[in-house]
Amino acid sequence: MPYYHDGSVTIYHGDCLDVMPLLSGISLVFTSPPYNQNLQAFKMSGMHKETQWVNRISSSYYDTMPEDEYQEWQIRVLNAAWNCCADDASVFYNHKLRWRDSVPIFPVTWLLKTQWVMRQEIVWLRDGSVTQNARMFPPCDERIYWMRKNRWKWTRHDGTWMSVWKIKSAANTEHPVAFPEELPMRAIACCSDVDDVVLDPFGGSGTVCKAAKELGRKSIMIEKEEKYCEIAAKRMAQEVLF
């Protein structure tokens, strides 16, 4: 039973691994999962901006899992997405480089173990960094991994979007780690058609659904935290604000 439905957007409150087996015919997946930040082991430098960042994430998704369990979970999620997607579907997976005991962990470590075929790595160049304590050049980028199924749609490209996307971070007070709407809009515009169904298995405050609706696509989001389902539902219902 959907938490919210308006004919264009459907919101499910639940675990994506429980909901995705009920879906089919998805044309595009755009998602950004919890990053398993391991904040309990994070050593803050005392900088005000960095402390704010840790506090904001802690208030939303305090995800501290053993790294091997986290990666296995992500593989299961992506394979479940494969099973509910159309044969020409793409998935855009936003993640970033993390470190454990000074060893970098690249998302491709687990992405190459899924059923999806890697198509391209896109660099999201953000506006600044909040990580200032690691005695390295502060990271100001994340990655969007475009993966495809057996075929893939390529419906629009005017030559202005290349493989580095310089887009400012989202100023979202309702969700502490929301990404900007332009990220999913670019993927949806280029790799889906009007009336196709777009899925976000980690829906958050509904940014992917909002972008899909503006582009004339249908969308489904799944979110485990009910407070974010409520925020997203209100956001979808307030069409005058779009």
Q: Percentage of the chain surpassing pLDDT 90?
A: 70
The model's pLDDT over 43-69, given as tens digits with 9 standing for 90+, comes to 555 554 545 545 555 455 556 799 999
The model's pLDDT over 216-229, given as tens digits with 9 standing for 90+, comes to 999 999 999 999 99
**pLDDT band for position 102 (50/70/90)?**
confident
Query: Would you state the pLDDT for residue 154?
Result: 95
- C-beta separation of 63 from 34 below 8 A: yes
Query: Smallest Cα–Cα separation from 47: which of 153, 141, 138?
Result: 138
3-state helix, strand, coil split of the chain in percent (to 5) is 30, 25, 45
110 CB-near residues (< 8 Å, 6+ apart): 71, 72, 74, 75
Query: Would you state the pLDDT for residue 227?
Result: 95
> E strands of the chain, at which residues?
4-5, 9-13, 26-31, 85-95, 98-100, 103-105, 117-125, 141-148, 164-166, 197-200, 218-223
Is residue 241 over pLDDT 60?
Answer: no
Query: Would you state the pLDDT for residue 53?
Result: 46
Average per-residue pLDDT in the chain? 87
